[in-house]
Each structure stands twice: as C-alpha cells, then as structure tokens.
Amino acid sequence: MKTSRLLVIFFIIFLPVGTVYAEMTHGSHGGSGKGSSSAGSCEKARLAKFSPPHLATVSPEAGFSFLAFNIDRPEQITVMVKNIPVEVTAEFKDPYYLIKGKMPASLVNTAARINIKVSAKSSHCEAEDGWLLKVNDK
C-alpha cells in the first residue's frame, strides 16, 4: 500500500517536470531549431550572379538579371531601383529562379542601386542584397 502511494506521489511530482523539459528541448514552435527538422526551420535565401556586373555602365531600360536560391515562390522577391519599384519575371531552373527585370526609363545619367529583398514568414529567413550600376544617357 505504501509503495503504490509513493509511486503516485512520484508521478504527480516528476511527470510535469519531464513534460516541460521535453517541450523546451525539442523546440516544437520555432525555438532554436538546432537538430530539429520542424516546419518552422528554413534555409536563408541566397542571391547570386548579378548581371550586368557591379559598377557596369548601362543604358536606360537596360535589362538585368540575378539568381535566387532557397525561395518557395518568386512572389517573395521585391526589386527596387533607386526607390522605384521594378516589375520582374521569374523562371524556375531547378534549384534556383532566374529573375529578370529592366532599369526604369526615367533613370538617365545617374548611378542606381538595384535593391533586392526576399520576404519570408520568419525574419531570420529573409534576405537582402543588390548592386550598383551607372546609367548613361543612351
């Protein structure tokens, strides 16, 4: 009889501690993600192969392109050139997207940075990059 009471008391005291410890170490809601393959983890987007290259001279409405890795869909990408939103097209070429756009026609005889932002549900999965081009008059 005393043994069964001790077992009941033991489980009442120590079972909640074990449950809390399991929740803390398994990170079921984001957490640190270390050693976990939960749906909350992600690979940070990577942007590469900017064309034309950094500091190249281009004409107004010149085309540009870059590669975007580790994104789910191209709608996550926002491109701005000198604070002007630029419409881009995306072509999936496993394992990346080829993103293409055109310089705004209003940019003449100036330097312009192409700013790229990749949004994600979690801020640690977002990416931002870009490069600078010189725009001539024709």
At 58, list the tokens.
Answer: 């281009």
Q: Which two tokens stand for residue 116?
A: 């790229």
The string of DSSP letters for 85-134 reads: EE-EEEEEETTEEEEEEE--TT--SEEEEEEEEE--SSGGG-EEEEEEEE
Closest to 131 in 3D by CA, of 59, 52, 58: 52
Task: Supply the pLDDT for residue 10.
Answer: 52
Rounded mean pLDDT for each run of 10 residues along the chain, 138 residues in total: 58 51 44 44 90 98 96 95 97 96 97 96 89 94
> From CA 43, how far away is CA 36, in angstroms rounded?
13
What pLDDT score does 138 carry? Answer: 75
Query: Given this model, what pLDDT does residue 33 score?
Result: 40
Our CA angle for 56, 54, 88, nearest 5°, is 95
Domains of the chain: 1-41 (no CATH), 46-135 (2.60.40.10)
pTM greater than 0.75: no
Residue 48 confidence (pLDDT): 97
